[in-house]
């Protein structure tokens, strides 16, 4: 049986008043329980302030060395007022008519390998999610257009390197291509993979 919300509030207030008269210590108990009830029963993962439970969980997991990634999108309400994002344009423009610089300089004065990145690049799509021909086509397009190609989390395949397009090697949580037998990050394997990329005469950003 569902109890209407308004009568439920009235009944709750009357119950609190009766308890306050008959058992004043109950107010102290409720004051003590209030933070726990709010945190564990009422408050959502994104309501808390100044740091909500969602971000606190990430902090706790990283401090313990536990997995801190959450699959299937975000818990944040992306439709709320004042939420900001960048939308893709559905209308193409002539590059020759653009006044702004279409490349970004990556790397400060101490950087040994600065990179001039295009503002238009190929986002992460791994070889396992696509196919040989798809990866070859994307990297050839990156070479032709002068922009970079993100490898995705499944690591680098020979098809990412075949056409000579700039490659962003995405090292995800699986450490594909740079892990040891225990599936932990391995610096030596990482260096060997980078050496293989350099032999292919590619620009690689990891």
Give pLDDT tens digits for 160-174.
Answer: 888 888 888 888 777
Per-residue pLDDT tens over the stretch 126-163: 777 888 899 999 999 999 888 899 988 877 888 888 88
- The reply to whether 138 falls in a domain is yes
Structure tokens, 32: 């003590």
- Calpha distance 47→30 (Å, rounded): 21
> Same domain, yes or no, for 57 and 125?
no
- Calpha distance 83→177 (Å, rounded): 37
- Calpha distance 60→197 (Å, rounded): 37
Mean pLDDT of 83-105: 77
Q: Are 149 and 142 in contact (CB under 8 A)?
A: yes
- The reply to whether 81 falls in a domain is no
Number of domains composing the chain: 2
> Same domain, yes or no, for 113 and 180?
yes
> Same domain, yes or no, for 52 and 104?
no
Closest CA to 118 of 86, 145, 98: 145
> Same domain, yes or no, for 194 and 141?
yes
Q: Is the pTM of this model over 0.75?
A: no
């Amino acid at each position: 049986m569902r109890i209407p919300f308004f009568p439920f509030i009235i009944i709750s207030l009357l119950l609190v008043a009766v308890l306050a008269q008959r058992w004043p210590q109950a107010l102290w108990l409720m004051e003590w329980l209030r933070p726990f009830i709010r945190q564990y029963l009422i408050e959502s993962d994104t309501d808390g302030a100044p740091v909500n439970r969602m971000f606190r969980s990430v902090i706790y997991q990283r401090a313990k060395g536990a997995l801190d990634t959450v699959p299937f999108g975000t818990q944040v309400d992306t439709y709320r007022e004042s939420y900001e994002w960048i939308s893709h344009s559905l209308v193409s423009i002539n590059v020759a008519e653009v006044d702004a610089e279409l490349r970004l300089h990556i790397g400060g004065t101490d950087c040994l390998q600065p990179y001039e990145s295009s503002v238009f690049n190929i986002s992460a799509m791994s070889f396992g999610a696509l196919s040989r021909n798809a990866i070859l086509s994307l990297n050839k397009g990156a070479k032709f257009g002068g922009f970079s190609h993100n490898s995705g989390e499944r690591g680098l395949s020979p098809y990412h390197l075949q056409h000579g397009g700039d490659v962003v090697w995405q090292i995800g949580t699986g450490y594909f291509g740079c892990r040891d037998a225990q599936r932990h990050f391995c610096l030596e394997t990482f260096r060997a993979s980078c050496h293989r990329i350099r032999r292919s005469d590619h620009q690689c950003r990891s």
